[in-house]
Structure 1
Amino acid sequence: MMTHFVHVYVLLLGYFLLNDASKPDDPLQGTNPVCADICASSEAHVELDLSEPRIQRENERAQVTLHPTGSGRCREPALLEIPLSKLGPHGIVKFDLSFGPVLHNYSIDIGFTYEENTTVHSVNIFNQQVSIEYRLNNEQHIDISEQSVTLLEPGEDLTIYISNEWIQIENKLRQHPKLTVQFNRTDALFFNPNASHLSVGLNRNINGKQTGIGLCFANLTFIECFADKESALDIDVNNKTYVQRDLENINWISHLTYLDPNADVRECTAQGVVRLTFDPFGSRRIARFDLSMGSQIHGFTFNIGDSATNNGYGGDGGTTSNSAEIHSNDNRFYIWANTKICGDTLLLKIDYNVIEPFDNITILVSNERVELTNHRSYHQILSNPYLYALARQNVTCNCFDSLCYPGVQPDNDIYFGINRVIGGTYRPGTGVCDANVNWIQCKKIDVSPRNKYEPVTTPELTTTTTTTTTIISSTIPIDITMKLPEHSTEVINHMEISLLTMTTEGNNQNDTLASIGSTMIYSDETTTEQHIITSTENQVDYMTTTDIDTRQPIELTSQLSSVYEATSSTPRLIHLLTNSSQFLTTEEITQRTTATTITTTEIATHLTTSFNPCTLENLRANFVYHEYPLDKHKFVFCDSEGKMNIIACSPNYVWSQSEQSCVLPG
């Protein structure tokens, strides 16, 4: 008698534990990836341009502080503060980031800074290294660390998802493994006693001690899912009972029944079919299925399909082209595409040993996406345009078998077969003992209109310009330094050309031909003219760096044209012929100086030796940052192609070779 009592107690304890395991305490647990994929708004809530800098779009969930420095494109720093109370325990922040041609120091730093100025949890990009660091108790010991130096290249885009229990970083343009970290409830990322805000440093670290270069645009999207605590449908398969709370969007197609009412084995064998109706443009876009498996697993224990006649192995009897389905068969798990796909097979995925006795299976179904985990070692996420058509995709002629479906209208329904296929009882199964169905719903977060900025205008000017050109010929090695537009860097080019000095004065002169070595300059007649410059709208394009390829010869034409254009406000025609075999006789240069006011501009070149640290040896050693010998406020960056880029530090900063960073003096 005592033995029998113990046996019954163990069975009951096992039954209740099984039920507890199948129905999660929090229906949103583990749903961050599907919420991020399905519930993200098509427009960002916060949009930042870090070249102007400008806040293009704002949202109450993020406080943005810009720190304009005039440093140029992809270099302006900013700080974001996001109150955790605005996010909620299941809120997700999505960062869409666009980077420029140079990545240096912190281009983004995400984490929490406490009173002692220590960052405990951090996601950052330092140079090209993408890192996730999690310190549970103190700054010295890192409990979780994930890094990648191949996930991001200059000029690419990156997407970062951050929530209380999940971080994912991906480069969607390249087939590269995602950087993913999962947190449990006790080691949650956001909500701990010390933090109230999520801090985000853009082109700087959080505490502002270091600046960075590279982030051009940053868009933030806030994502939030919600679900009812009680399931929409609880099914006790063993007892053929259920509790249904959503009577509008869930309907029984075939109520629970036994395939053979006289069979001896009744454990987890009852069968049924349920239909769920999605709302693709509302909140009801994700369905969650939690299944508890029994001691025996056999046949088709579950079948979730897009068609009312799905019957396993990708078939539906020719009912519709929207016929994607998933199902089990013994311990195997299958994913089948709909018949719109063109190819030799509809099978997208098959995995073995996925369904085992006493497993707890969670399945998340949404538009063109399916996710399944057995909470042991298997977790599969598959997004494919030929999966579930739950956004009113049209019913079309099949590409797979050329069938057409005249008059068949699209719907937003899926069907759930319990211990059988959807289309009939002829493919039965044994194994599902309990099933809980619930909706994971998307919360709508309003997007504000973009801010409007007035374009930059140039005031009306009246100028009088007359010029005289004097040319002196000499051939020596020189280094040309050109001043680029405001907020840009200097460009240093190295070559051997004729030393050229041009002096511009008020004058009237005849056409002149002058020979400079192998160079001919044609200068047309210039007279005193009055020009009216009307107001125009200009959009300033700040330059960050200019590539210098010292391996290629520099065209004399472009250099002299740049020099000439910088000294004259009237149009000129200059032809530069660099043919060393051609010499022209210098004609007499006549010059008549007028009594008008004389304006003089001199462009002089500076002699220097050739300087290029971007050698193959340095590149192989990853030695890509160097001092710039002519200006301590600048440094040299060697890109992956061996080109030398001269970059200016932020105002008041100087380059430190030992720190490999721009720092404040002293």
Structure 2
Amino acid sequence: MINLVYYYVLAVLFFNINDATKPDNPLHGTNSICADVCTPSEAHVELDLSQARIYRENERVEIKFQQIGSGRCRQPALLQIPLDTIGKHGIIKFDLSFGPVLHNFSIDIGFNDEDNKTIRTVNIFNQQVSVEYHSTNENKIDFFEQSVTLLGPGDDLSIFISNEWIYIENKQRNQSRLTVFFNETNPFLFDQYSSATHLVIGLNRNVSGTQTGIGLCLANITFIECDTNQQAALNIDVDNKRFEQQDFENITWISHLTYLDPNADIRECAAQGVIRLTFDPEGPRRIARFDLNMGSQVHGFTFNIGDSPTNNGYGGDGGTTSNSAEIHSNDNRFYVWANTKICDDTLLLNIDYNVIEPHDRITILVSNERIELTNHRTYHRILRSPYLYSLSKQNVTCNCFDSLCYPGVQPDNDIYFGINRVIGGTYRPGIGVCNAYVNWIQCKKIEVSPRIKYEPIITTTATSTIELMTTTSTTEATKTTTTTTTTTITTAAKAEETTINMSKEPIDVTTKAFEHANEMIMSTELLSLTTMIEKSNHNQTNQNYSTSTLVSVPSAMVHIDEVTSTEPEITMELMVANTTTNQANDEEQTYFTNASTNTNEEESSTVSILGHQYRLLNILANLSQYVATENTFIETISNDFKSTTTTEDILLTTTTTTIDSIASSNPCTLENLAANFVYHEYPLDKHKFIFCDSEGKMNIIACTPNDVWSQMEQTCIAPDLKNN
């Protein structure tokens, strides 16, 4: 009876140990390769944060725009995604494009508790990328990861978020990455101690809605999901020369398990074999997973995974094919070899030491042009190269390494797995692999909806009439003489057709398209901004023959009051002040002026005259985003030197800002930039603030309507909060 109990206990322990060697979750740790291999070519959601447009939508995502009409890269939006539509092994990818100015929250992804307090978030505040985690578990684990070098103005960023992994990379700078891993006890999405049911995303705002931001121009969202069978496609008990196979169609034994020397003294984990796996590059079967359990002894070539049926270690394959990449072990070392298409002095891509040790559990993930290996201790290596596995019908070409050609050899999508030996033969054996589990990680297809098309409309310009009021001033020591003349120039222009994209949804053109008509990014190198006029049908847009120096204006903001007239001509009244100073060179300057009633803030634009034909440049920038009408209309602009007046037919007014020498003291000093002190009060308007860019230039930005700048909070806030 005692003996029976003894053997029963041994059997239970054996089966428990054997079960423990199996991967608990075959999808665990596959986020990176799923993101690399299974991301579809088109996004499921496409948003434009300048025009508040949805170019592609998905039923999983609820989208709400805040219609404030703030301008380019400033439109706030709130998105919600139910967690049950993501799945515990799903991945969400955000492709983000940013503008030239980043301020406050350009994106905020995460969860808030019942008190609207952030518990888990990935956000971008100014140029700082942060991952914040506050666990609701009793074993409270909090951490905060951030990077201030990952993102810059005008960059593109990709953010991958899953339950156990967050990965952020800058597309312009390959070395700029941030990776955060979560364990099963403290996951990011599905926290068992949290009542959250939706993932919330704030675009140009935070999740709670207390702050808005500037900078995010475009946002695409892609859903990625991998799947697998819990039971391995092939379960190999090497120690006992047995196996259980589920997939007979795509996994084939080339050499069944056998001992190299049946009379050898060492029999533990010494059996050898070779299998072939066939991938499906256009279907779901694009990733293979190998889980290897090592025994008490590790010697020689314990595994060899190669692209060629004759791979034999150290990059060789007997000249069978140019698609000959391989990986293998030798004792505790791990080698990665390129195929012979590489033009280099060696095929060796990587070698690492002390990777394979006794009783290790090695996981290897293989896909097209990619390899990943971890020993679940301290080693985790991912390699991507066009000279790795050719599993997407790559041609067999004359190789570059030793100038061999392979006439008649056809490409395939196969790899070979040698167990305790190299693939090409038993002459390079190994001892150490006791169990091997082979499984497919499959890419799940998620349908992408058709892109929403926005119908273009056409406006036709037939003639144009320009009235110029020319003021000539002569300044002397004791008196000033001013003469005003009015000249009307009517130019017959060839009819031009301008295509303007418009949404299928009607646009109310009587509503103001901008909340801030005077908003403009400024440069403080000069005391004035210049709006240029270029000569029609010529490439002379960058010349100014007056004595003033030009300052580039990235985007002129246009304020639309109403569109009512259908008259087939355009009338514009421009006041031009031609000032001649009493200097030796009698320099002449011509100004197109809009003066402000504020003595410290004058609104002006310098005009360059390049002939008798005129065309305003930059003044109508971004207009096609906001105007949608098939009617031609009358535009009349009348400007007085001391104040801006508008006639009944005025349709368009533009404003820029000039700061006098007292108010334009530049706070964007090298000391402030080095201290990351880039936000400052704007002394002429409490509803604006100064932002210093990376080049030390000063930019004046308007707050959200009705908000005021708080230097203490370094953000725009409600006036009542500032008073408190």
| Alignment match of 1:569 (pick from 569, 572, 587) | 572
Matched, 1:548 2:549: no
- Counterpart AA for 2:431: T
| 1:249 match | 250
Partner of 1:165: 164
Structure 1 contact 625–635 (Cα < 8 Å) conserved? yes
Q: 1:607 to 1:308 in 2, by over 3 A?
A: closer
Question: What amino acid does structure 1 have at the position aligned with 2:260?
Answer: L
State yes or no: 1:420 paired with 2:421: yes
Q: Decide whether aligned partners of structure 1 residues 130 and 529 sit closer, same or farther in structure 2, where only a CA change above 3 A counts.
A: closer
What does residue 350 of structure 1 align with? 351
8 A contact 1:79–1:206 mirrored in 2: yes
Counterpart Cα distance in 1 of 2:686 and 2:278: 66
Contact 1:233/1:438 (<8 A) preserved: yes
Separation of aligned partners in 2, 1:220 and 1:307:
38
Matched with 2:585 is 582
**Which residue does the alignment assign to 1:484?**
none
Report the Cα distance in structure 1 between the residues aligned to 2:87 and 2:588, rounded to whole angstroms. Answer: 82
Distance of aligned partners of 1:133 and 1:142 in 2 relative to their CA distance in 1, 3 Å threshold: farther
Q: Give the conservation status (yes or no) of the 8 Å contact 1:227–1:441.
A: yes
Could you say which residue in structure 1 is the equivalent of 2:65? Answer: 66
CA distance in 1, matches of 2:157, 2:46: 15
In the other structure, the counterpart of 2:116 is: 117
Counterpart mapping for 1:389-404 below 5 A: 389-404=390-405
For residue 499 of structure 2, what is the amino acid of its counterpart? E
The verdict on how the C-alpha distance between 1:250 and 1:635 changes in structure 2, with shifts beyond 3 A counting, is: same
- For the residues of structure 2 that align with 1:59 and 1:471, how far apart are their CA atoms? 62
Instruction: Give the distance between the partners of 1:141 and 1:318, measured in 2 at CA.
Output: 58
C-alpha contact (below 8 Å) 1:133/1:144 kept by paired residues: yes
Q: Distance in 2 between matches of 1:104 and 1:585?
A: 41
Equivalent in the alignment of 1:229: 230
Distance across 2 between alignment mates of 1:421 and 1:560 = 72
1:187 aligns with 186
1:536 to 491, 498, 518: 498
Correspondent of 1:653 among 684, 702, 707 = 707
Q: What is the CA-CA distance between 1:455 and the residue it aligns to?
A: 3.8
Letter in 2 for 1:619: L
- 1:621 aligned onto 2:675: yes
The corresponding residue for 2:595 is none
Quick one: structure 1 residues 165 and 600, their matched pair in 2 at CA, closer, same or farther if it must change by over 3 Å? Answer: closer
Listed one character per residue, the Cα deviations across residues 481-527 of structure 1 (whole Å, up to 9, x for unaligned) are: xxxxxxxxxxxxxxxxxx9999785x5xxxxxxxxxxxxxxxxxx45
- Tell me if structure 2 keeps the 8 A contact 1:89–1:164: yes
Distance 1:386 1:10 in 2: 51
1:569 alignment partner AA: M
Corresponding residue for residue 134 of structure 1? 133
1:557 equivalent in alignment to 2:567: no
SS at match of 1:313: coil
Q: Partner letter of residue 536 of structure 1? A: T
**Quick check: 2:310–2:424 contact (8 Å CA) kept in 1?**
yes
Structure 1: gaps (5+ residues): 477-498, 508-525, 587-597
Considering Cα pairs closer than 8 Å and 6+ residues apart, tell me whether 1 or 2 has the greater RCO: 1
Matched, 1:644 2:606: no
What is the aligned partner in structure 2 of residue 202 from structure 1?
203
Structure 2 SS opposite 1:548: coil
Give the Cα separation in 2 of the matches to 1:584 and 1:153. 42
Contact 2:96 2:158 in 1 (8 A): yes
Distance in 1 (CA, whole Å) between partners of 2:137 and 2:11 is 45
Structure-2 change in CA distance of 1:262 and 1:151 (3 Å): same
User: What's the C-alpha RMSD, in Å, of the aligned pairs?
Assistant: 3.7
Worse-superposed segment, 655-664 or 437-446: 655-664
**2:525 partner letter:** T
Give the corresponding residue for 1:99: 98
Residue matched to 2:74:
75
Q: Secondary structure at the match of 1:431?
A: strand
Which residue matches 2:563? Answer: none
Compared with structure 1, are the counterparts of its residues 176 and 628 closer, same or farther at alpha carbon in structure 2 (3 Å cutoff)?
same
**Aligned-pair distance for 1:584?**
8.5
Q: Which letter maps to 1:181?
A: V
1:410-467 deviation per Cα after TM superposition (whole angstroms, max 9, x unaligned)? 1000000000000000000101111110000000111111112234665879876544
Contact 2:581 / 2:587 at 8 angstroms: preserved in 1?
no
Note the alpha carbon deviations across 1:334-371, whole angstroms, 9 max, x for none. Answer: 11111111111111111111111111111100011111
Aligned residue for 1:338, secondary structure, equals: coil
Q: Distance in 2 between matches of 1:139 and 1:92?
A: 27
What does residue 409 of structure 2 align with? 408
Is contact 1:278-1:284 (8 Å) kept? yes
After TM superposition, give the deviation of residue 579 of structure 1 in Å.
Answer: 13
Report percent identity of matched pairs: 64
What is the rounded CA distance, in whole Å, between the counterparts of 1:281 and 1:461 in structure 2?
Answer: 54
SS of 2:546's equivalent? helix
User: Any idea what the Cα deviations from partners look like across 1:278-322, whole Å, max 9, x if unmatched?
Assistant: 000100000001111111111101000000000000100010010
Q: Distance in 1 between matches of 2:198 and 2:98?
A: 25
Provide Cα deviations, 1:88-124, integer angstroms capped at 9, x if missing partner: 1100000111111111111111101232212211111
Give 3-state SS (helix, strand or coil) of 2:416's partner. Answer: strand
Q: 1:438 to 1:572 in 2, by over 3 A?
A: same
**Aligned-partner residue type, residue 428 of structure 1:** P
SS in 2 for 1:200: strand
Whole-angstrom distance in 2 between the partners of 1:392 and 1:557: 63
1:153-200 alpha-carbon deviations (Å, 9 max, x no partner): 111111111011111111132243521121121212112341110001
Q: How has the CA–CA distance of structure 1 residues 262 and 465 changed in structure 2, closer, same or farther, with 3 Å as cutoff?
A: closer
Distance in 1 (alpha carbons) for counterparts of 2:320 and 2:20: 37
- Give the 3-state SS of the residue equivalent to 1:536 in structure 2: strand
Name the counterpart of 1:495: none
Kindly state the Cα deviation for residue 582 of structure 1 after the two structures are TM-superposed: 3.1
Q: 1:608 to 1:244 in 2, by over 3 A?
A: same
Report the equivalent of 1:262. Answer: 263
Is the CA contact 2:287–2:441 (under 8 Å) kept in the aligned structure 1? yes
Residue identity in the other structure for 1:425: T
Moved more, 20-29 or 626-635: 20-29
State the match for 1:239 in structure 2: 240
* 312 and 571 in structure 1: CA distance in 2 versus 1, 3 angstrom threshold: farther
Length-normalised TM-score, structure 1 = 0.84
CA–CA distance in structure 2, aligned partners of residues 500 and 420 of structure 1: 101
Distance 2:82 2:208 in 1: 17
Contact 1:94–1:221 (CA<8 Å) still a contact in 2?
Answer: yes
Q: Secondary structure of 1:470's match?
A: strand
Distance 1:581 1:461 in 2: 45
Structure 1 residues 342 and 9: alpha-carbon distance in aligned structure 2, compared to 1, 3 A threshold: farther
Asked whether the 8 Å contact 1:370–1:381 carries over to 2, the reply is yes
What is the Cα deviation at residue 232 of structure 1? Answer: 0.5
